[in-house]
Amino acid sequence: MFSLLDWNISPNMRWFVRMADAGATATVELYNTEADALAAVNRVAYALGIPFGPDEEVVFLNDTTSPLYGGSVGKFNTTLPYHLRLNSTDGGPVRIDAIGPFTDLEAVEDALMLTEAVIRARAEYEINKGTHTKVTRTLRTAGHNPTLDIGDTVTFSSAKRGVASLRNRVAAITLEISIDDSHEVQFFDQLEIVEYEDFSRT
């Protein structure tokens, strides 16, 4: 089993990370597209011999395929020693995670950021941090939906959970591949979805 903890990859773009059990260790590979990751072709970078365990650091070696935006794979924050951090245990299925770009904005105190619009946006953000909370859930779909993307809104109902037509935003998508005893391959999406709720301080 694999789960990503953090990533620190340059160029800062959407990547597909393929994690596989290679026997005594794990292999982690980086791809530009989901199709490449599924087919294990056009690999951009890779790391071999990653030990199984909690919070393992991964450092990539560049392969022959270039990132979509050119150049080569590096560290977004060069002071950090890793490209990825992950948890893993021996014997899990192949897992493909889509990871999105992140921002690195300067603090509002920076002179270049002291505009009325930026100050207002930052103030609203700080206020909302104290007046909203979020509920995170994990769902497994009945199959793979290639059109689903991070940031999309999904609606689900669950008699067991006592919810009906609940709208949530997709925060993470994990493609799971299962091979049964008859060697039939099945694809599933495991979604991390977020519901935002208002609350007030008393």
pLDDT of residue 198: 60
Report the candidate in 114, 82, 77, 81 with the shortest Cα–Cα distance to residue 17. 82
The pLDDT tens digits of the residues spanning 37-58 come to: 999 999 999 999 999 999 999 9
Written as six digits, the tokens of 103 are: 């921002």
Task: Give the chain's length.
Answer: 202
Residues of the chain with pLDDT under 50: 104-108, 200-202
DSSP H or E run through 156: strand 153-158
Instruction: Report the alpha-carbon distance of residue 130 to residue 142 in Å, rounded.
Output: 36
C-alpha angle 82-178-142 in degrees, rounded to nearest 5: 105
Structural Rg of the chain based on CA atoms: 20
The pLDDT value recorded for residue 40 is 93
- The residue among 62, 77, 71, 75 whose CA lies nearest residue 31 is 62
Sequence-separated (6 or more) residues with CB below 8 Å from residue 161:
none
Q: How far is CA 109 from CA 93, 120, 121, 130, in A?
A: 47, 13, 13, 21
